Chains A and B, each alone.
Chain A
């Protein structure tokens, strides 16, 4: 799709807003609709749009595959790790009220951290699936 000038320009204009909206959904999920799952998918869709328009190599340079693999595991580690942190602070597994002095604040922090973990894993997994499919067609083309 490298020759489509309009597509390239429009997507170049849109992608920052897509990522920004993804971040808004991610960190505003406790006030409005949305959360980690939706945010991760939106951010991954923005990155995949970049890959579709500018080519897989450009996306690989922006987000290397090794980092994606690390992020898939990192998100789950953040989620599961939050549970162990609350255990170390004296509570039960994933018992957020120990994260801050005020139990309500603790719950709020816990939700934000856990949603961040969800978002990272979802976005990275979607990108990994895209890399897996798109990379498969490549060697036969070249």
Chain B
């Protein structure tokens, strides 16, 4: 049911020409995706999807929209080539899912590698109930440090690209 709604939303996003509606539908899509993650018991991922995908992305989309026009241009090029690329990519992805282990299979490779150690050790060595947080901020803290550095770089980049103009404005008027 959720997946049907996802497909319907995605098709509507493709069809609709009003960008405001596309931004809103994007938010709806993210919330549906968060519900899918919730059904799969991935609470932290669902939370991130709802906060980042539906929350801040929609708001930033609206802010960006206030700087431009609301109507999407009718594309002049042929849609056949993009359609072919999408169909081929989708087929390859579907083919790849054949090799994935079944959902919740305890013998699957990801559940046999380091996951049992994390689950056994976390309550004793770290003493916090949320193993996701323990993995993110402790076992994999180098990765998270890298992620924060990426966000930092993104912020600095946006400030350098967009923030400069404001400071130059008074000098230009002089």
Contacts and interface: CB of A to CB of B under 8 A. Distances in A.
Whether A associates with B in a native complex is: yes
A111 B162 contact: no
B61 to A, nearest CB: 10
A31 B46 CA distance: 16
Instruction: List 4 tightest A-B contacts by C-beta distance, closest first.
Output: A125-B155, A132-B162, A30-B128, A104-B127
Contacts of A96: 138, 141
Interface in A59-100: 65, 69, 72-73, 75-76, 79-80, 83, 94, 96
A137 B136 CA distance: 38
Contact of B59 (A36, A45, A110): A45
Given A108-B127, A108-B128, A130 B63 contact: yes
A135 B59 CA distance: 15
A32 B133 CA distance: 9
A133 B166 contact: no
Interface string B144-174: 1100110110111011011101100100000
B152 A128 contact: no
Contacts, number: 155
Interface stretch (B10-18, B49-57, B82-90, B111-119): B49-57
Contact of A107 (B43, B55, B127, B132): B127
A66 to B, nearest CB: 11
B162 A139 contact: no
Given A130-B60, A133-B67, A94 B145 contact: yes
Contacts of A73: 152
Interface residues of B, number: 48
Contact of A110 (B43, B138, B145): B138
Given A33-B132, A79-B145, A133 B52 contact: no
Interface string B105-134: 000000000000000000011111110111
B39 interface: no
A132 B148 contact: no
Q: Which size class do A's interface residues fall under?
A: 35 or more
Contacts of B145: 79-80, 83, 94
Nearest to B49: A38
A27 B107 CA distance: 35
A41 interface: yes
Given A30-B130, A107-B127, A132 B161 contact: yes
A2 to B, nearest CB: 15
Which interface residue of A125, A135, A139 has the most chain B CB atoms within 10 A?
A125
